[in-house]
Structure 1
Amino acid sequence: MGVRRENGHRVVVLGAGYAGTAAAVQLAARVGRRDGVQVTVVDAQERFTERMRLHMTATGQRLAELSVPDLLRGTGARFVRGWVTAVDADARTVRIDDDRVLHYDTLVYGLGGVADTSAVPGAEDHAYTLNSAQDAESLARRLARLGSGTVVVAGSGLTGVESAGEIAERHPELDVVLLGRTEPGAAMSPRAGAYLRAALDRLGVQVRAGAEMVKVLPDAVELAGGESVAADVVLWTSGTRVSPLASAAGLAVDERGRVVTDAALRSVSHPQVFAVGDAASIRQGYGLMHGTCQSGMPTGVHAALSIERVLRGKQPKPFRFGYYHTPVSLGRSDAVVQFTRPDDSPRRICLTGRLAVRYKETVTASPWPSYGRMKKMPASGAFWPRGGRFTRVREAR
């Protein structure tokens, strides 16, 4: 991959989520139309999905309509809309909608994760998810029609907590039950976890920790031991899964189907493939990274920098990342921010209440302005995480 083809070098980016979009915009800004490098972004949607805010969409709140083609305009990158149905890592081809084929010299694999509704019988058929803006909008319409009843949020992780709090605040006429194996906020410091649970209690969310869900029915969730929890609506946020395309393509994957990468985010089996975001199994000194926007965008940026270095005949640098914080919204007027060590373990310090709301709204605001700044930066620059935020820095050439 270290040499350019005489007829140009084709880079295909699969997935226009946080990581894929960061990779595409950063790379296009650095290479543009220079040297015959063509950057192509493939996604099933033209609309950019702010996954961190889908719990707001699910309660009828309107977010800005963000267009990936509009963002790419003027960068030299092109957008192809369609479903990726197959990847041939040996032939270096991508099949789209089963009737189009794209050839690549370098691939950025960023087809991220979705809620794992396959893990429990009935979840696929009877539960809502927040996999896309359309899914969230469908849930919002259902909640608006209910009038009264019970909403079960399955999964007590951060997505479940934010969703339960948002639904309870926006729909006080509904009973909201949060089911999960662990206590909400269990990975936080004692103070932050206690604040989070008190906020859920204030919002009227009924928390059922230690609940093992074994089946989803049209009107209930069955738990291990035979107990059932009545539900007019079930929102599934428990666990994630990734696309099987990487495994089917012959790429080396881990037990969850994520592409196993080397230190520079290249596939260990196919070094012309870079994996980013939730689709990548990335090992750091503290262990495997877990998928968040906080870590996803930096992987996309690093993949772009690495590709640009290889095109210049240089070796890519190792990827290094440490977590900084865990911001959690608790409705629109409350939040908790847990500051963390690089390995994501909690520090003692945290923010709560309105100060946490202001902090979260600042650091987890739409990435669109950052993407826009990437488009305009000089080729010698890069956006890199500093203190949880993206800052323009100069990379040694």
Structure 2
Amino acid sequence: MEQTMRWFGPRDPVSLSDIRQAGCTGVVTALHEMPNGAVWPVEAIAHRKALIEQAGLRWSVVESLPVHEAIKLGGPSRDDALANYRKSLVNLHACGVTTVTYNFMPLLDWTRTDLAYELPDGALALRFEPEALAAYDIHILRRPSAEGSYPDHVRARAAVYFASMDSAARHRLERTIIAGLPGSEESFGSAEFLAAIEGYAQIDAQTLRENLFGFLRAVCPLADDLGMRLVIHPDDPPFELFGLPRVVGSADDLGKLFDAVPNVSNGLCFCVGSFGVAAQNDLPAMIRRFGDRVHFLHLRNVRREAGGGFHEATHLGGSSDMVAIMKAIRSISMSGRRSIPMRPDHGHRMLDDLEKSGSNPGYSAIGRLRGLAELRGLEIGIAAHEGASQ
């Protein structure tokens, strides 16, 4: 695997020098300052790439080139948004950046309800609690159909959760869910978010899936011609939120995606943490099945909790068997004779990073460094064992 880390640009408190010292050879980044749906200019892409290369690294993967909501909705401005997306792909290719990540989650990107969940060892992790989401949805956002979106026991726990919060805690929960986490493509206030949800009233899972297929049919022929790879990030978490459908969370979803759009450029960012939230997902089997589509890896782990919640675990210590997953990755890498870019993801805040302010949640330096070291050692150990067995 090619070892990389995500970098949020020149204002990221984790510098390119830090990333290189961690042992990475590549960087995963984007032009986060560009408005969603705008064309990425060649000059801006080239400048960002030059900064990375001056630090002795390479721009391995774009994460992400956002898909405008008009495309997800199939709205009247879809064609303009598609044209802009194609222009951005051409400009990235002109600068030699050819692997592009995107997602197709309506309105919200990855979602958590707690950015500082304290673990037994004192480190801080990201967490998702269904009752916290329901408390916001039912009692703060007051979405009209929210009550019917949750089973009785979740509604009951949500009422208790909401009653236990003061105004500061309620504001913090609101900001955590809808203000935009690192790398997110949109940020809302509650009134704006409620209006945006209403815009999806006629979009069910099948319609959203067809709009995804339509997006890919519009951009993949160009990507094929350019030799680029478009890699979709799975839904995080892989289930419906706020009544909004999600359609990339299982092997069945991936099978439909690749059957509908078989273009060689139609690829996958395999995120262990996102797929790992759903206990029914057999992650090693999914890697082997879709291995020729996997062009980018997010190697993180979550610990599933009773009641449907989860929190970010250590990279080797969550509910997913990272040893089996790494063996499956080694299998597809060796069979295809390729080094797939990977990054450790959503590290804990720990050690000196606990005292620092301004770090991006999930993207502090030391927690990701720990994860990278564990994953690097695991890969080396598996490779050595394979060599000894031959």
TM-score, normalised with respect to structure 2: 0.32
Indicate the structure with greater strand content.
Answer: 1
Larger fraction in helix:
2
TM-score where L is the length of structure 1: 0.31
Larger radius of gyration: 1
